[in-house]
Amino acid sequence: MRKKIAAANWKMNLNLTEALQLIQSLDSHLKQLKPNQQVILGVPFPLLIPVKNLISNYKHVDVAAQNCYSKLQGAYTGEVSPSLLKGLNINYVILGHSERRDYFNESNDFIKEKVALALQQQLTPIFCCGEALEIRNANNQNDFVKNQIKESLFHLNAQQISQVIIAYEPIWAIGTGKTATSLQAQEMHHFIRSVIAEKYGVACSENISILYGGSVKANNAFELFNQPDVDGGLVGGASLIATEFNTIIENLI
């Protein structure tokens, strides 16, 4: 049975005091998670250890780095390697987020290198893919997303890809207030699963959690998460608001 996951992406938000207050406000919901449910908090680098310490008593809660570099060490000022993260007992890392692709010009090949190195260091990548509005309007979203997956993940073997969490984030629905309909989300998630199945087999594809990441909120989480191929969400702004994120956690099915 694949995991149902509420993954928070705090982006460049919250100081330590605010993080503590937020986690305290999530306390009762974090305690009630079932074995097939998980909450992952993607926090800024300076908060990784403090937040990991804060959530250490919860059974099904962990933290994720929001990025890592494609080298293990060297003269790369300001970067953080997968080995440094693993040395801090970090288990998850978000890779290929649309903001990294857009603002920092990260290519599919560059993300491929990071995915491979993260897995080598026993980190679980949360691999992001998704199309911009002009690609959706041209009805080319399937080819575009398939190419992202093919160029960044298809170097992996079946055992390796089974460790990856995929997050579909339609760029046109991030921070815009727009959200893919539950049908649009289901169609793309089903397509992504079929792409994995074509390469690695149905059994492998059925065990990979695929999250939806585009303006997930309390008022749409149930409908989105109720789709057969949607296994939870990668949540941005709503993950910073305790009442919103608590409701999102409640709707993990």
Q: Which of 131, 169, 189, 244 is catalytic?
A: 169
Amino acid of residue 80: V
Residue pair 26/51 in contact (Cβ under 8 Å)? The answer is no
Distance, CA of 111 to CA of 177 (rounded, Å): 27
Spell out the residues 6+ positions from residue 109 whose beta carbon is closer than 8 angstroms to its own. 151, 152
Annotated catalytic residue, options 29, 60, 97, 189: 97
Q: Return d(Cα 219, Cα 4) in angstroms, integer.
A: 18
- Residue 113 is a catalytic residue: no
- DSSP-based three-state secondary structure for 165: strand
Active site residue 134: no
CA–CA separation, 162 and 171 (whole Å) = 25
CA distance 11 to 86: 20
- Please enumerate in sequence order all residues whose Cβ is within 8 A of that of 163, keeping only pairs 6 or more positions apart, or say none: 119, 124, 125
For 109, phi and psi rounded to 5 degrees?
A: -65, -40
Are the C-beta atoms of residues 196 and 204 closer than 8 Å to each other? yes
Answer whether 29's CB lies under 8 Å from 249's CB: yes
CA atoms within 13 A on the CB side of 8: 31
- Point out the residues that are catalytic: 97, 169
